[in-house]
Structure formats: structure tokens, C-alpha cells
Amino acid sequence: MTASAGKPHGRTSIMNFIDNRLDRLAVRRGDTNWIKDQLYRSDTEVVLSTANRLVLPVDNPSHIGLPLGRTVELGANLEEMIFLGLDNTRNRALFAATTPGSDEEMEAVEGVRVIDLRTLALEAEHSREDLSALSQARALIHWHRTHRFCSRCGQPTTLAEAGYRRDCPSCGGQHFPRTDPCVIMLITDGDRALLGRPPRLAEGMFTTLAGFMEPGETIEQAVRRETFEEAGIRVGDVRLISNQPWPFPANLMLGCHGDALSSEISIGDDELEACRWCDRAEVRQMVDGTHPLGHRIPPAISIAHELIVGWLGEAD
């Protein structure tokens, strides 16, 4: 099994969230004095978020965070500041924090815009590096918001290791941020690709199949199981092509290419409302926006787009 992270099929990747250049300095996270010094640097920016959306400055598109004092004014807790890392190219420290304010309350604040990360990525107004740092921030913020209490005893937890652990003072439990691996796979049968339509997608959009990995399962096994469960297709050889952090809320997408061993589709659960084999000519129409029925594939920010376009490129 081979992988070329970020460059499916040897191509230059255009998908988002894979270009995080921050120096995370994990070895310094336990040094509370050093972390405090970084937090109070004059160039420090804090990526602020509500439960669902980022709160970004509007005065300078080169900044993705707000000054520390500004975030505190908007409800951020100094004891809950998450250290993202140092941006050495711009000489700044980056932290992340959450505000208890609602989206509507933050939208009424002057000088900021409230926007979800997916929409921000589609706008393509921020650098790939900044979008990648924001993906790190959103994943960590989501984890902290949903792990305020100990899963062992139910008591409140406190931030530790600069945001990469939560400790329970009551029972001594330690809890760490989670990343959930998902397989996302383009299954092909010669010059045909298997594309499906989950109900959540926009009308007319078709994409690759995908699903969560389960405990005790290899990547190849997950690809074969998910493909059979969703479409009734047996899969043989599986190749890992690339991978992508996907902070919705905290996944790692493992992009694979699999060879079909069967061809009769049988939608076996409620995850797909449609699934079909599409030849290269039809897929090319989907990519080019010329499909007679208006069918299309996901936007270029996603690994699904990369897998599909990479497969088309093999025939060029």
C-alpha cells in the first residue's frame, strides 16, 4: 500500500487543510511559563470561535486571529487558551479560544465576521497555510467544547498541556484530543467509477463513497466493508493515495483507490439515495460542468475531488 500525502496520482494537490506550517513545539507545551510568555507576546493572535463558526477580523485579511485582549472582551477564558504554534514566517504566535456568545451575538460585534470554515475555504480568500491553521483550531475548539466533563467520573475537567490534554482534578483522569479516521474511496471497474449521492449533498452532486474506520480494522478492510455495506460492491486491491485533515468536526480522511470485483449495485442502507457507475466521459462532464443533467462532483477543497480528477488524469 502506497501513499503520497497531498499529491494524489503524482499531481500537485489543490485540496485544503494540508499545508499547516505552524511550529507546534509540542515539547514546550508542559512549560506553563513559556506558554504564558507566548500568550502575552505583542504579536500574538487568538483564533476565536463560537460553537460552530469562526470569528475573524475584517480589517486585515492577512490576520486570522484577534488580539488577546479583544478575545477576552468577547468572552474568551484566559485559562482555556489553546496553543496552536508559532508562525515563524510572519513572526507571530497563534492560540485558539472559544466564546460563549452565539453566532447572532458575534455577528452584532463591529470589526469581525462570523463564518464557518467550509464556506471560508470555498471563498479562497485566505492562504492555504492559514486555512490549515484554522482547521487545527476548529478541531481543537470542538474537542474542548465537548469534553468539559470527565468521562470517568463526570466532574469538570481543566485544560492542560497548552490545550492538548484535559485533566480531571477529581479522579486524576487524563483525556486527549481525538482524531477520527475515515476512509474515502474511489472504486473503479476499468473505465468506470462508482459514485454515490448521500442525501446531505447538494442536488445533483455525486461523490466517492466514504465511512468511518472501526476498531481493529485496517484501511483496506474498512474500504471493502464500507463499499459493500453502502453499494453491495465487492472490492479487491486497495491503494492508499493521499490523506487530508477534515475538521468537520475532527476527521482524518484516508483517500484510497479500490478495484471492484463485482458490478451489480445494491444500496444496502440509508446512507445513499443514489449510486451508479459512471464512465470517464460522463465523469469528465461532471468535472467540466457540462453534464446534461447538471450532475457534478464535490469542490476542489476536498479529497473526493482529488481522487476523481486524479483518476481522470490517468487516461490523459
SS3 track for the chain: CCCCCCCHHHCCCCCCCCCCCCECCHHHCCCHHHHHHHHCCCCCEEEEECCCCEEEECCCCCCCCECHHHHHHCCCCHHHCEEEEEECCCCEEEEEEECCCCHHHHHCCCCEEEECHHHHHHHCCCCHHHHHHHHHHHHHHHHHHCCCECCCCCCECEEEHHHCEEECCCCCCEECCCCEEEEEEEEEECCEEEEEECCCCCCCECECEEEECCCCCCHHHHHHHHHHHHHCCCEEEEEEEEEEEECCCCEEEEEEEEEECCCCCCCCCCCCCEEEEEEHHHHHHHHHCCCCCCCECCCCCCHHHHHHHHHHHCCC
Domain ranges for the chain, please list them.
8-12+179-313, 31-146
Q: For residue 167, how many other CB atoms are within 10 A of its CB?
A: 16
**pLDDT score, position 59:** 79
Q: What are phi and psi of 188, to 5 degrees?
A: -125, 155
- Give whole-number Cα distances, 272 to 209, 210, 227, in Å: 9, 11, 11
* pLDDT value of residue 12: 55
pLDDT along the chain (316 residues), means of 10: 45 82 98 98 97 92 92 98 96 97 97 96 94 98 97 98 98 97 98 96 96 98 97 98 96 98 90 95 97 96 96 86
Beta-carbon neighbour count of residue 249 at 10 Å?
A: 15
Residue corresponding to grid cell 466514504: 210
Task: State the pLDDT at residue 13.
Answer: 67
The pLDDT, as a whole number, for residue 14 is 79
| Sheet of strand 165-167: strand arrangement | 158-160, 165-167, 174-175
Which of 3.90.79.10, 3.40.50.10320, 3.30.70.890, 3.40.50.1220 would CATH assign to domain 8-12+179-313? 3.90.79.10
How far, in whole angstroms, is CA 71 from its chain's centroid? 24
76 touches 98 (CB < 8 A):
yes
Q: Which of 129, 102, 287 is nearest to 193 (CA)?
A: 287
Neighbours of 255 (CB within 10 A): 27
Place of cell 451508479: 276
Which residues share a beta bridge with 296?
205
Distance CA 66, CA 110 (A): 13
Asked if 294 and 273 count as a contact pair (C-beta separation under 8 A), the reply is no
- Give the CATH number of domain 31-146: 3.90.79
- Distance between CA atoms of 303 and 14, rounded to whole angstroms? 9
Question: What pLDDT sits at residue 196?
Answer: 97
* pLDDT of 49: 98
